[in-house]
Amino acid sequence: MSAPDLHQRGVADLARALAAREVSAVETAQHFLSRMAARQDLGAFVAVDADATLVQARAADAAIAAGSAGPLAGVPIAHKDIFVTTGWPSTAGSRMLAGYQSPFDATVVRKLGEAGMVTLGKLSCDEFAMGSSNQNVAVPAVGAEQPVPVRNPWDTARVPGGSSGGSAVAVAAGLAPAATGTDTGGSIRQPASFCGITGIKPTYGRASRYGMIAFASSLDQAGPMARSAEDCALLLSAMCGPDPDRDSTSLDRPAEDFSQGLAGSLDGLRIGVPKEFLGDGVAPGVRAAIDAALAEYEKLGAKRVEVSLPRTELAIPVYYIIAAAEASSNLSRFDGVKFGHRASQYKDLAEMYMKTRAEGFGDEVKRRIMIGTYVLSHGYYDAYYLQAQKVRRMIADDFQAAFRDCDVIAGPAAPTVAWAIGAHSDDPVADYLADVFTLPGSLAGLPGLSLPCGFDGGMPVGLQLIGNYFAEGRLLNAAHRFQQATDWHQRTPTGF
C-alpha cells in the first residue's frame, strides 16, 4: 500500500492492512498529519500534537508486532472537542473552557483507545454543541489566530453542518479515516449528510456519556462518523457498552459486534416513508435523490410503505424548549469558581458570575440559556416545559405506531443541502429548521443513520434511516447493502 492511497482507505481497509503489516501505524499517522497540516484552511482541527500522536502510533506498531493488538490497532481517529481527553485541550468550542485539559478520558475515547486507535487531534464544533452549521465557534482552529467557521470541502463557501462539522469535514476531506461526533438533535446525521459521509447516532444510552461535555442530558448521544456503514459498524462496536459506574444514563446492555449482520439480505424489508418527510419544504433536488435511493432499495428486495409521523413539525418547538431547559441547568456549573474562564476584574461574587458568563459564553449559548431559564421559571414551567415533555411522549408513540407497519423509516436527513456560510447569520431560526427531520428521532431516543445517496447542485444529499430501539444492526445492514450497490459513499470532493 503506497502512502498516497492511505487517505482513500476506510477504517476496515486500514485495519486489515495494519494487522497484515502492509503498512505501519507510524507511516499511517504521519500521512494523515501531513494532510491535516496542508489543509488548515478548512478549520477542522482545534488541537494537534504530532508527538503525542506518534507515541500512540509506535505503541500500536509494537502491539501488532507482539500479537496483542486490539481490533482497530493503528487506525487513526480524531475526536470532537466535546469529549474530554487527557493530554489534549478540551474546550467544547468555547472561550469558557479555553486552555482546559482534562485529567481523565471520556469513556468513548478510552474504549476506542483500548481498541488500538491512534488520536490525530481534536475537532472543531459549535460551542457546547449548539448549532447546525459549525459557525458558532469561539476557539481558533489550528493555524488561525481568531475563531473561524469550518468549511465544507465540497464547496468551501458553504457550511459543513453542525455541531459535528469538524468531524464531518475531517472525514470527507481525507484528513482522518474516522471521527467521533455527538448527536443531540441531529448533529451527527445532518453534517454527515452535508459532507457526503456516513454517520450513526445509536439508541440513547448505548454509548456512555461520561466525559462528554453536557448540552442536553436526555438527548446527547455519541456516535461514529466515517466513509461507510462497514466502518461505522466497527467503530460503534468499539464505542458502545454499559458504563453504569460512571454514567447513570448508560444502558445495561452488553456490547455488540455490529459488523456481523452487515451482509444480510434486504428481501422483504419494509421501509416506511413518512409523508411528512417529503412535503413542500424539501428541495426538489433532495427529493429526487431520496426517491432514487428508495427505488434502489426496492431493487434490493425492500418494500416501500407509506407511514405517518403527524407531529413532525412539533419536534422543533418541543426540542428547543427541552434542550434549552437542560442546557440552562448543565451550563450553570460554568461560573468561574472551580474551573474554566474567570473574569479578571469584579467587585463581588455576583459580578464575577455575570462578567465570567458574559465573557465566556457566545451569543447562541446565551440565547439558549435564556430560553431555558425562562421556560423553567415559575409560572411558565407548566405552560412550556411540561407541555413539551408531554408532546415528546406523543412523538415517541407516533414512531411506535409507524413501526407496526415497517421495519425502518427513511427520508432526507435535511430538507436542503448545505447553505452558504453566513446565510443565516441574522436568522438563527433558519438554522433550527434544518433539523426538522432529525429532531423527532432524537426526542424519541431512537437510533438514526445518514448515508450519502446523491447530489443536488453538486452538493451531497444524505438519506436518513431511523430504526426502532436497539436496531442499529438493522440500520447498518440496510446502509451497507445500499453502499455495495452504489458508489455515492466513495465520491470525494475535487482535490481531496
Residue 426 burial (C-beta neighbours within 10 Å; 0-12, 13-18, 19+): exposed
**Annotated active-site residue in 24, 80, 132, 250:** 80
**How does DSSP assign 188-235, residue by residue?**
THHHHHHHT-EEEEPSTTSS--TTB--S-TTT-EEEEEESSHHHHHHH
CB distance 191 to 165 below 8 Å: yes
Could you tell me the three cell numbers for 2?
A: 503506497
Q: Which amino acid is at 69?
A: A
Helix, strand, coil shares, percent, the chain, to 5: 40, 15, 45
Sheet arrangement for strand 408-412 = 45-47, 118-123, 76-80, 178-183, 221-226, 198-201, 448-456, 459-467, 408-412, 270-274, 303-307
Helix axes 284-299, 472-485, angle to 10 degrees: 90
Cell digits of residue 110: 478510552
Q: How far is Cα 395 from Cα 414, in angstroms, rounded to an integer?
A: 19
Nearest alpha carbon to residue 393 among 482, 322, 490: 322
First to last CA, the chain: 18
**Identified catalytic residue from 90, 102, 132, 163:** 163
Q: What CA–CA distances, in Å, run from 182 to 122, 195, 246, 249, 470?
A: 13, 16, 18, 15, 18
Residue 412 parent element (H or E): strand 408-412
Catalytic annotation, pick one of 94, 167, 187, 450: 187
Q: Indicate if 187 belongs to the active site.
A: yes
Dihedral over Cα of 350, 354, 357, 360: its sign: negative
Identify whether the C-beta of residue 415 lies closer than 8 Å to the C-beta of residue 438: no
Using CB atoms within 10 A of its CB, is residue 404 exposed (0-12), middle (13-18) or buried (19+)? Answer: exposed
80 has catalytic annotation: yes
Give the separation between CA 394 and CA 287, rounded to whole angstroms.
27
Residues 462 and 412: beta-carbon distance below 8 Å: yes
**Active-site residue set:** 80, 163, 187
